[in-house]
Amino acid sequence: GQQVMQIPQYQHVQEGEDFTTYCNSSTTLSNIQWYKQRPGGHPVFLIQLVKSGEVKKQKRLTFQFGEAKKNSSLHITATQTTDVGTYFCAADRGGNTPLVFGKGTRLSVIA
């Protein structure tokens, strides 16, 4: 079935360093969503990307959707300890089908 590959699985950074997680699909997506799960918490919606080549920013977070709508990335500039958690992408294949979540990237930030 549909798979969404997300890399890396883990990332450890020093506070102030940048961080990027990538999400790749073998098929064209209708849209892609990003979620953040803090340790001990539940996933919380961050953003949805719909258009080919779309770029959206939320403060230090930059989200991109590839031109072919098959891949996406989340980039965090100058990480802070509050960025710690697992970041999931979720792919929408269109139609009445459920979202497909990537396995997530767990970010650790060392102060």
Residues that bind another protein (CB under 8 A): 1, 30-31, 33, 35, 42-45, 48, 86, 88, 90, 92, 94, 96-104, 106
Question: Minimum distance between the CB of residue 51 and another protein, rounded to whole angstroms?
Answer: 15
Q: Which residues neighbour 100 within 8 Å (Cβ) at sequence distance 6 or greater? A: 2, 3, 4, 90, 91, 93
Question: Minimum distance between the CB of residue 103 and another protein, rounded to whole angstroms?
Answer: 4
DSSP string over 2-50: --EEEE-SEEEEETT--EEEEEEESS--SEEEEEEE-TTS--EEEEEE-
Question: Minimum distance between the CB of residue 9 and another protein, rounded to whole angstroms?
Answer: 9
Question: Minimum distance between the CB of residue 90 and another protein, rounded to whole angstroms?
Answer: 7
Closer residue to another protein, CB minimum distance, 44 or 68: 44
Closer residue to another protein, CB minimum distance, 18 or 28: 28
Closer residue to another protein, CB minimum distance, 9 or 81: 9
Helix (H) or strand (E) holding 85: strand 85-92
Which has the closest alpha carbon to 62: 44, 78, 43, 51? Answer: 78
